[in-house]
C-alpha cells in the first residue's frame, strides 16, 4: 500500500502525522468554529484522528482550543462523534 501521495496532518490529540483521509478537520471560519466534512472550508484548520480515543482526548485536553486559539463550541464535538458513528 502506498500512502505517500496523501498529505499528512498532525492529530491534535495523539500528535501523530496521519494521512488526511484518516482525520476529521475542524476549521475556524468567519462564522465560528465548525466541523469541516468536505475539508474544503477556508480558514485555520485543526485535525483529529477518526477514532473515539483521540476525540475523547482532544475534548478532555481542550486540544482544539489551543490549536485554534479559540474556545470550541460543544456542538462541534457532538458533530465529531456523530460523524464517527456514520463513518463505520
Residues that bind Zn ion (CB under 5 A): 11, 13-14, 49, 54
Which one, 13 or 59, has the nearer CB to Zn ion?
13
The least distance separating Zn ion from the CB of residue 49, rounded to whole angstroms, comes to 3
31 or 60, CB closer to Zn ion? 60
- Give the shortest CB-28-to-Zn ion separation in angstroms: 19
| Smallest separation (angstroms) from Zn ion to the CB of 52 | 11
Nearer to Zn ion, 14 or 41 (CB): 14
How would you list the strands of the sheet with 44-49, edge to edge?
A: 32-36, 23-29, 44-49
Amino acid at each position: 500500500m502506498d500512502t505517500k501521495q496523501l498529505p499528512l496532518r498532525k492529530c491534535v490529540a495523539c500528535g501523530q502525522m496521519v494521512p488526511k483521509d484518516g482525520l476529521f478537520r475542524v476549521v475556524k471560519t468567519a462564522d465560528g468554529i465548525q466541523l469541516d466534512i468536505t475539508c474544503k472550508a477556508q480558514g485555520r484548520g485543526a485535525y483529529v484522528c477518526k477514532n473515539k480515543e483521540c476525540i475523547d482526548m482532544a475534548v478532555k485536553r481542550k486540544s482544539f482550543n489551543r490549536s485554534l486559539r479559540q474556545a470550541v463550541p460543544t456542538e462541534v464535538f457532538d458533530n465529531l462523534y456523530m460523524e464517527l458513528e456514520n463513518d463505520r
